[in-house]
Every structure is written in structure tokens, then in C-alpha cells.
A and B are shown apart, each in its own frame.
Chain A
Amino acid sequence: MLEKKMLTKRFGIVNPLSIKDYIDNGGYISLRKALTMEKITIIDEIENSKLRGRGGAGFPVHIKMLSLAKEVSDVKYLVNNADEGEPGNFKDRALLENDPHLTIEGMIISAYASGATKGYIYIRGEYNRAISIMKWAVDQARDMGYLGENILDSGFDFDIEVRTGAGAYVVGEEFALLESIEGKAGRTRVKPPFPTERGLFGKPTLINNVETFCNLPFIIEMSGKSFAKIGTPSSTGTKLISLSGNINNPGVYEVPFGVTLRDVIDTLGGGVPESRKLKMVQLGGACGPIIPEFMLDLKIDYDRFEDFESKTGAGAIIVMDDRHNLFEVLLRIVEFFGHESCGKCTPCREGHIQLEYLVKKFLYNESTPKDLFSLESLARVMHQTSLCGLGQSSPISLISTLGYFRDEYHNRIEFAGKE
């Protein structure tokens, strides 16, 4: 059994438009339990669970909750990041569309434990279906007393508003997202201060990913310690994987941390169609490393992925067969990020257009050894100095290929002008 269905266990079983279905299948029980617990005990349980953020960065969840709980403020916000704009990622959409109340329940538990008073679910603008479902679900939850004033007679007040994104990928970045909710142009801000100190409208704000919130009811249900037994010691629980590309069975799969990429691709995904050869796999989405076939025994695990200096945690796997030209792939990625750059900081704003120019020289066999040097140095500087995660992670795919596929670069230089 490679799959472990926990967050996805109600998929196809409940009607997403029916809160009754959710309740009949064990929904909102964890919330009832949490409301009887000490707030700090809830955070302790989450610490014991070793849950890490599922939005990409893999940051320990209890630390951010604790920071929010410690802030003294009349209003504190909770934000559910459902912007999911990264190509190759579609697992949050699956969670919202198939089991909308799970992430809502997680939010209420988080808000109760960390003292948030108002919540937002920020959903990617293109996700029309998810948006309608979530709006419906939030209204239902309010009607049933799970949201609003004095939730389930506990004396705790909390409500949620659904917001829709303006369509820009960078708005998934937490500060850009907050700016966008504030009605501004969706550019990031400099840290510190962090959102838990000064976030939405200048108030303390906790931001987590859809999937991160979805884990909380299970931790409350089974206890943090039991949750921590799933997966590997450093990466606990399950991970939703968005599997796409040249693959027989693309889709969303939930697996415990620790399974290998090959397991997911071959066993769950059914391998590459038409018996072609797998050439490379991109992890995490457009901003993740591109690795060759021989590395597929890598385990899905935060610590393994950090070796790539990459925030691969969002869990996308994009499979590319041997028909793909490396430089065409890189060009598409660089163009994508150049287009999505907010333009605030120099390395990202001015860097992408130059990367694009250099990658094209390789693609069109016009490159020189000097170009390789410039490309490498520029990509690293963008990675090291950009202000937000977009500019920092956009060159990662390119940097990884400079290691794993260096021969292809040298070949291009050799053939330059020879055609």
C-alpha cells in the first residue's frame, strides 16, 4: 500500500456541497474536542506532531502559531493560502473541491489555539468551482454554528471570508498576498517584521497553506505523537503529490513521507506513456530542481529536498520524457518567472530578461564559454539576493541542470555556429 489516504479519505465519499455529509463522516468532531482543550495544549500537540507547512517552505507550524498567540493585539488574522499558482500544482484545488470543510475545520482549530479573530481564504482566481464550493461551505458552517459568534457555545468568536486572487502567481507569496487582500498591487514587503508581528492591515497574521490546515483535525483526533509516527522522523504525516507531465496516470496522490519518487512515478503513475524513456523530473513545480532518471530513488522528505536549496515541499512531480529539449524547458520556465516577477527587487526584475537572453543563446547554438560563466553567476546571484521566494527559487531549476546536465551545456558550446 503506497498510498495512505488521510486528508483525501472523504474524496468521492462525501458531497462537497453537504456539510451534513461531512459531519456524518466524522467531520467537526476534532473541533468539538479542541474547544474543550487548553489553547497551549493544542499548540503542544502540534509541536509533538512535527507538522511542517505544506505550501512550500516547510516551516514548523507550531512556531508560527505560538508567535501569533504571543502577540497582544485587538485583532489577529488567520489566512488560508489557496492561491496555488505554481505550474504543476493542483492538490489544493483537489482539497477545496472534494472536501471543503476539512480545511475550514483546521482553520477554526488554529484560530482558537492562536487567538485569531478573523480569517480569510485566498483562492486563486481561476479556480471558479473551488471558489463557489468554499463560499457555500463557509456559509453552511456559519449557519450550523461552527463560525461566527460564540462557536458551539464555547464563547469563541471567529469568522471566515473568501477572497479571490487577482491572477498573479507571486501573490501566493505571503506578503504579496496580504498586500493583495489590502487592495494593493500584490508586491511583497521586506522582512522582518514577519507577518505574525505585522501582517494584514499591520496586525499580527498567521498564514498557512490549505493542506497544512487540513492536517490539524487529524492531529487533534489521534494526538501529535501518533501523527508523528506516520512518515519519516523529519517529515511527518502524508503529502499530497500533484503528478503530471509524460505520465500514464496523472493526478493527485496522497502518500506518507518517505516513499521514493520512483514509487510514485512507476507504481502510482503507471510510468511514462508509449514506453518512452524518462529523461528528467522536475520537483515542486516550475521553481524546483530538475533531476535525471538515476536519482529517482530519492525519498520524498523535506530534508532530502533541502539538499537542492529548494522549497520543493508543495509536492509537484513533473515527468519529462526523452523528447524534451532541456533548453526549451528552461526557456519556458525563465519566461514564466520573468512574466510573474512583481518587479520590486533588482535581481529578479532585471535578471530574468538576461537569463532569457542567455538561455536562448544555448537553445539556438550561439553560446560561448563566457555565456556559461555569465549564466551560472547570474542565476546564483538571483538565487542569493532576491527579495522574495519567487526570485530566490526561480533560478533553482536552471542551477540544478548546471550540475546534472552540464554536458548538454558543453555540447551546445561546442556546436555553436557549426549547425
Chain B
Amino acid sequence: MVKIKINNKEVNVKTNTTILDAAKENGIDVPTLCYYPDLHINSDCRICSVEVEGSKNLLTACSTPVKEGMVIRTNSSKVLNARKTITELILANHDTNCTACVKNMKCELQSLANQLGIDENRFPSVLKQQDVDDQNPSIYRNPNRCIKCGRCVDVCKDVEGTHVLETMFRGHDVQVTPKYGKFLSDEDCTFCGQCSSVCPVAAITEKDDSIRVLDALNNPDIHVIVQVAPSIRVSIGEEFGELSGGEWTGKLVTALRSLGFDKVFDTDFTADLTIIEEGHELLHRVQTGGKLPMMTSCCPGWINYAEQKYPEMLEHLSTCKSPQQMFGSLAKTYYAQSEKLDPKNVYVVSIMPCTAKKYEAAREEMQVHENIPDVDAVLTTRELGKMIRQMGINFKELPNDEFDNPFGITTGAAAIFGATGGVMEAALRTVSEVVNKEPLESLDFKDVRGMQGIKEAEVELGGAKVRVAVAHTLKHAKQLTDQIKEGTSPYAFIEVMTCPGGCIGGGGQPYGTTNEKRQERINATYQLDSEMPLRKSHENPYITEIYEKFLKEPLGELSHTYLHTHYKPRGKLK
């Protein structure tokens, strides 16, 4: 512990804490702009400057550790003037047009300007307009709004290991751009959207599809249905200023009905279906000497990465489509048939935590009917939050409602898909019961839970011991994949999720996603699972029914046509 003085108050704080954290612990907020929890401290915006006695220059609170006897002033007029000046400088090189900006009221720069009381900018605009990047279905980049904080570079390079973005050029010409090309699609971008999740302004956002969805909703000739991914229910509350937690599911359903969706379905149902198909595929590979380890395929960022970086290893990927796409193809076949609808007039929207899902939905492979996408539009959690607010729906006051059937009954196994290790755990629950032909003693596979980068477990299947592994972030996935490449992988089955923490930490989740937030969402996820009456995918009665009525058997011919896909090596994702 060291004793310091902040704004005339003497306090004791832990050795080696930064001034920023020390101030926060003592109820003092120091504004920040480039700092982001869990990321490398670049300390380049200089907004968090504070005055420290004995130092001629101001010091940045985010990067300066406290020292015994330090006397700190976080809001002297010298400090406030510096922050104001720096903010004006940023705004003078920014396409400031808040009322016409997706980040309006959610923007860190805007709230900073507001907090500092900037009513006039002394500095004239020096912005040189540049082209925006709208060349891909997932991510929209507007360099005219970039403040060069470097967060996106760090998340892409350090967290994901993809290193698509870089700070280029020097001096006033500095730009944060794709490393070599002009557009993200010129590079090996996976469209994971982690960059959009940490960008403090509207320089990197998801490509907005809400207008398209509104148009469909307003078209009386179209039957519009919606599916909701497992991880949305624990995070949607955050869009309305609430904590993470599963208790908002009922209101979420009501909100979607109020938006005008004809049916509100649950992607959890096709998550259960994925488990049945993928579980059988794993068993089939084990029994017939197929390619092992098998790697999961429900994460589209990972699929993009594998197709770009490991073209020779695509046979390791499960051929199962993701739950989103299984839903899409069933919606345009089984559902359309049973409702006597022309698939052309069924419009499928999905609510996803993920920007890469937008790219996935746009893939040519994902069309059971030619030129009709199985999933027509994908909205992120953030886009849905925005639509609900736009429509004047008072989310917190809504009554609860339930998902529609047949895609509404689900299990705890599906609920945990959103957390890293969840797909693995769900698969193990089913596979071990199918193989061992006796009920599991405990359904909780704790070894595969939690935020550790790579997790391992050993399970007994039909007398043999089988090793499995779970990786989240592509940096960790790369380690496991390289192991396979070198022939040293000891595993039979590997789960990969691109985003830290899994989909609950997806690139389309509410702003402010930090590792602390991720842990809260994970806790809420397992809470939901533990409260479900059914916790194993193969016990879902509607799953049994859909096989009886339509699909016939796992890995059967119809499954093959509708629920499985193929991969191809590809360079840049155009």
C-alpha cells in the first residue's frame, strides 16, 4: 500500500495501481478515450492527463503508476484546459455530425465533449475527407470519424492475433487502416467485429441492416420471422442500461412481437439440432476412422479464418452448418411447407451477437433455394437495441412472453452455446449418453468453462478415454490448429470461438464489453442452464418430432442437404 493525495484527500491505495484506478477506487472519474480495459495501454490520446506535484508536465492517469507521497489533482483548471484543448483538436479533424451518426448518444467522444462543456471549437476543421469502406456485408469503416486511438489495432493484433488493421503513415497523415489494402475485404479480415466493439466513435461499426428489416416488416405480403441467438438474452438488458442477466428473455420476445415479427423463434432450438448432428458426426468419424480431431463450425469468424489460413485443413471442420443457418434452411423448407407459404415470401431475420454472421448469411452456400438466402438479414444485439428504442418501445416495462413453436422449446445445452466451452459441454452431454447408454451422473463439465484461453478435458466414451479442447480467440485457435498441422494434436474434438468468452463477448454485443462484463454474461448463461427443465439436446421433444416428421435420421439424406455444408479455400473475402 502507498499513501497518496488525490484532490486534497489522503488515501491509501495498492502499490502499482495506476492513477486512473486509484482515482476510480476513491470515487473520482478521470475521463479516458484511448484506454480500454484488458487492452494494451497506448496512452496516446492524452485525455486522462492529470497534474502531479513535482512534475512539470501533466501525466496520463491511465499509464502512470502511483508512488508513495504522490500529490495528484485530476480537475485543476490547468488539467481541464488541457483536456478541452485536446478534445477540440480531435474534433477539428473529425467528421463531427452527431445527429447524423449511428453512435449518437453512445459515443465516447461525444460524451467527453459534453462533459467538458465544449460549446465552440477554437480550431478550424482540417479534415481531409476519405472514402468509407462499405465493401463487405459485416463491417462498415468510416475513416473520417477515426480518432486514431489504436484500440482496434490492439484488439485485432493482440487479442485475435489477426493483425488486419495497422496505424499507417506519420504525423498528421496517420491513419488507422487495413495494413496493405484499402478495404477490409482486401485483407484476411474475419469480420469478427471485435474492432467495432471497442471503437469509441463511429469509425468502425457493424453494417447497418435495420432499415432493410423495417422495410420487410412493413411489407404486408411478406411473412417475417425472427430467430434469437442464445447469447442475446443475457446481454440485451445492457442495451437499456440494465445489468447482464437472463431475466430479460420474456421482454425480448414481447419487444420482437411489438416490432411486428410474425413469429418469434429461438435459435436455441437449432443449437440443439446442431448438437445432434455434430455429435453423430463426431461418433461417425471416430468409428469409421474419419478426420480427427473434428473442429466445431458454428462460429463464422473461425470458418473465415480457417478458409483463409488453413486451406489444407478444412476436412477437420465439422460439416454442420451453424445454428443460425440450420434455422434458415429449415425455415425455408420445413416451416414454409407446414405453414403453406412460398419460401420466396418468408423473410428470416436473425438477432446475433456477431458481425461475422452477416457475412455467413450472405454466403452462396447458404441457399437451399437458388438465389433466396436462407437467412435474409442479420441484426446485432446493438442494432436490435436501437430498433426497439426507435420504435418507442419501453423495453423495461414490457410484459413477458414466450417463443413460438415449433422452434421455441429448447434445452440448457443450447442455452450455453453462447459461452466459450458451451458447445463442447452440450455435445459431451449428448454424446456420452448416446455412447455410454446410461444417464450422466453430473451434467456439469466444469473443465471446459471459464475465460482461460485454451481449456482441456478428458472424457470416457464407450470405455475409451477421449481428450477434447476448447479455444476462444483466433490467437488461441491458431495454437491448437498448428498442433494438428504438426501432427501432435492429442485431441478428438475441438471447439473454437473467435470472440473472447465466446458469443457472449461477440463483436455485435452491447458497447462496453470487457472481460469483467463477459464473466457476468457467462455466469448468467450457466444460471439459465441450471434452471432449465431440460438440459440435454437429445431430450428436446421437438427435436425428436422434427426427425420423425421431416429429417428422418441424423446425418441422413435430408440432413445432408439442409443442415450440412462444405468449405473452400479462399484468399481475401470479397
Contact = CB atoms under 8 A, between A and B. Distances in A.
Contacts of A385: 46, 49, 57-58, 82, 86
Interface of B is mostly: loop
A377 interface: yes
Interface string A178-208: 0000000101001010000000000000000
A357 interface: yes
Contacts of A343: 148, 167, 169-174
Nearest to A371: B122
A381 B44 contact: no
A381 B172 contact: no
Contacts of A392: 57
Nearest to B49: A385
A340 interface: yes
Range, interface on chain A: 20 to 34
A342 B168 CA distance: 10
Given A346-B45, A347-B86, A381-B82, 15 more contacts: A168-B170, A185-B167, A338-B172, A340-B171, A341-B170, A343-B148, A343-B170, A344-B44, A346-B147, A346-B148, A349-B172, A378-B89, A378-B123, A384-B78, A385-B57
B372 interface: no
A345 B45 contact: yes
Interface of A is mostly: helix
Contact of B171 (A192, A309, A339): A339
A374 interface: yes
Contacts of B170: 168, 185, 341-343
Contacts, number: 105
Nearest to A357: B124
A354 interface: yes
A352 B123 CA distance: 12
A309 B56 contact: yes
Interface in A36-86: none
B92 interface: yes
Given A357-B124, A384-B82, A341 B171 contact: yes
Interface string A353-379: 110010000000000001000100110
A341 B172 contact: yes
A343 B90 CA distance: 13
Interface string A374-395: 1001100101111100001000
Contacts of B147: 346
Interface in B43-97: 43-47, 49, 56-58, 60, 63-65, 78, 81-82, 85-86, 89-90, 92-93
A338 B174 CA distance: 12
> By CB atoms of chain B within 10 A, which of A357, A378, A384 has the most?
A384
A350 B93 contact: yes
A368 B122 CA distance: 13
B46 A352 contact: no
Nearest to B34: A346
Contacts of B172: 338, 341, 343, 349-350, 352-353
A352 B82 CA distance: 15
A16 interface: no
A350 B89 CA distance: 6
B93 A386 contact: no
B171 A354 contact: no
Given A350-B172, A387-B44, A381 B124 contact: no
Nearest to B57: A384
